[in-house]
């Protein structure tokens, strides 16, 4: 039993998450400039990005549309009367001295996100999801020396997803953030890449004694930037709080940051409450009224959620949880699998070749999955293997050729001489040549050393200039030995 599970024997772990997803809108949420990751510093800015006096914000309709897509997916309530507020705090990455966000009237209320926990679906319930603008990016040089600020990201469209304090284990928190990335990927509203800052997570954590009705003092870990670190940072803070409580002391409400080099959550400052931000409605942004027809038009175009696909594939094809989560790891993967099914490929064969050889090819060169090997070509290769016209190893070689080049499948098959020759006379000739090369091994085989069947099959395949069928080779060898 690890230390977290030991702590959980006497203490309830209470976790709430705030996940910030950067939306793929053409322009910023309240400005007219674009945001493209890794652009030259301060090259994608406009007056609202800098917070210049006299600059006025205008709402991006695409951001509202993307938020509604998310709300429909998680079955939340869509608020048709949006009010944007100013959230005041002073930090160098916030030129205006306030952030435009939503406070009293979030665009999404409630809803839930299912995760697989102990091989069952567990709902993580949401408090809200609201739209807001991103801040600029600070780069700290020599920590105690100076910082550089890039305002490209300032004003980029964000949706902040806030859970109820209903998560009970650090691993559940990691699975939830992974599920959020999966959902926004399926909806085409964000790529959710944590390494690019398109998905960031803040975590609130507290401990309370078992059966106690009173929640403990919570702390917050800010800007967690990887799935692995979501779990690790929470584990670190659980251990820290447990030690404080066991020593009879009180946990202070503080904000922490995750130090990945030291593998520990470090205290930055005392935590603010909502009243510290002095929220009030932004006078430059009138309320936005969302028409029901607009919501219905979005709902008509919604696709099946990854959760729906997983449940269906588990039920219909008896796949494991690990199998279905792999097939829904991205929208492209799930669509590729569905195209294989549409081509008439057996679901088990489709799963085997995608999770095995196809994923291996992409992982070897560390690139994301795409459809450079068409479902039709993969179907044909699977069929050739099942009909015993090519070997399994040759099928892998053919897939690699398709992956690495622009060659057509027919061209690869013709040039490579992959088709198995089933001529029995050629097979017997090749077997006899190998028998003559290994007389001692042949005697041992005749004496009952059955493991040498594999040896002779392998040597016959290897020594023949023809592509011979291993199954036929084995059959013919057995006939010779047993007669």
Residue 110, classified by CB atoms within 10 Å of its CB into exposed (0-12), middle (13-18) or buried (19+), is middle
Identify the CA nearest to 61 among candidates 294, 284, 302, 292: 294
Q: Tens of pLDDT along 235-261?
A: 999 999 999 999 999 999 999 988 888
Q: Best-predicted range by mean pLDDT among 45-59, 80-94, 248-262, 307-321?
A: 307-321
Res. 36: pLDDT tops 90:
yes
pLDDT at 458 (0 to 100) = 85
Across the chain, mean pLDDT equals: 91
- Mean pLDDT of the region 105-110: 96
Of 275 and 409, the structure prediction assigns the larger pLDDT to 409
Q: Tens of pLDDT along 247-303?
A: 999 999 999 988 888 888 888 877 656 567 899 999 999 999 999 999 999 999 999
Which residue is listed with tokens 């429909």?
A: 72
Give the whole-angstrom CA distance, residue 154 versus residue 166. Answer: 32
- Mean pLDDT of the region 110-131: 97
Strand ranges for 262-303 from DSSP E: 264-270, 280-281, 288-289
What angle (nearest 5°) sits at the alpha carbon of residue 271, between those of residues 196 and 148?
40
Distance of CA 388 to the CA centre of its chain: 37
pLDDT at 418 (0 to 100) = 81
**How sure is the predictor about 59, in pLDDT bands with cuts at 50, 70 and 90?**
very high
pLDDT at 408 (0 to 100) = 92
Entry pTM: 0.88
pLDDT above 90 covers a percentage of the chain that reads 70
**How sure is the predictor about 304, in pLDDT bands with cuts at 50, 70 and 90?**
very high
- Mean pLDDT of the region 8-13: 93
Q: Tens of pLDDT along 308-354?
A: 999 999 999 999 999 999 999 999 999 999 999 999 999 999 999 99
Res. 447: pLDDT tops 90:
no
């Amino acid at each position: 039993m690890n230390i977290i599970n030991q702590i959980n024997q006497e203490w309830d772990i209470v976790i709430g998450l705030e996940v910030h997803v950067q939306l793929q809108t053409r322009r910023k949420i309240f400005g007219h400039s674009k945001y493209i990751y890794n652009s030259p510093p301060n090259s994608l800015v406009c007056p609202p990005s800098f917070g210049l006096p006299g600059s006025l914000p205008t709402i991006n309709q695409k951001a509202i549309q993307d938020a509604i897509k998310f709300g429909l997916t998680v079955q939340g309530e869509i608020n048709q009367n949006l009010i944007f507020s100013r959230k005041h705090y002073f930090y160098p990455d916030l030129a205006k001295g306030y952030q435009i966000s939503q406070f009293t009237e979030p665009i999404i209320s409630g809803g839930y996100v299912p995760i697989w926990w102990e091989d069952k679906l567990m709902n993580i319930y949401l408090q809200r999801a609201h739209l807001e603008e991103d801040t600029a990016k600070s780069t700290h040089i020599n920590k105690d020396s100076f910082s550089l600020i890039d305002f490209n990201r300032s004003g980029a469209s964000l949706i902040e997803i806030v859970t109820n304090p209903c998560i009970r284990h650090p691993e559940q928190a990691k699975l939830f953030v992974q599920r959020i990335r999966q959902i926004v990927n399926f909806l085409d509203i964000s790529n959710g890449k944590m390494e690019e800052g398109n998905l960031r997570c803040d975590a609130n954590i507290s401990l309370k004694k078992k059966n106690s009705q009173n929640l403990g003092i919570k702390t917050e870990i800010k800007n967690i930037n990887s799935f692995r670190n979501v779990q690790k940072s929470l584990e670190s803070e659980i251990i820290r709080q447990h030690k404080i409580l066991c020593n009879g002391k009180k946990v202070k409400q503080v904000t922490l940051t995750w130090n990945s080099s030291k593998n520990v959550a470090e205290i930055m400052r005392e935590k603010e409450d909502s009243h510290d931000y002095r929220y009030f409605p932004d006078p430059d942004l009138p309320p936005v009224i969302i028409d029901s027809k607009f919501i219905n038009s979005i709902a008509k175009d919604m696709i099946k959620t990854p959760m729906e696909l997983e449940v269906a594939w588990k039920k219909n094809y008896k796949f494991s949880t690990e199998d279905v989560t792999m097939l829904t790891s991205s929208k492209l993967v799930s669509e590729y699998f569905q195209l294989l099914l549409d081509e008439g490929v057996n679901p088990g064969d489709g799963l085997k070749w995608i999770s095995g050889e196809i994923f291996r090819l992409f992982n070897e060169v560390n690139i994301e999955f795409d459809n450079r090997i068409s479902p039709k070509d993969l179907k044909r290769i699977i069929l050739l293997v099942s009909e015993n016209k090519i070997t399994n190893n040759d099928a892998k070689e053919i897939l690699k050729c398709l992956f690495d080049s622009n060659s057509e499948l027919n061209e690869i098959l013709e040039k490579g001489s992959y088709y198995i020759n089933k001529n029995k006379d050629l097979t017997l000739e090749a077997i006899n040549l190998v028998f003559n090369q290994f007389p001692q091994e042949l005697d041992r085989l005749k004496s009952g050393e059955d493991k040498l069947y594999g040896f002779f099959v392998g040597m016959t395949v290897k020594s023949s200039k023809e592509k011979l069928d291993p199954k036929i080779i084995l059959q013919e060898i057995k006939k010779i030995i047993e007669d």
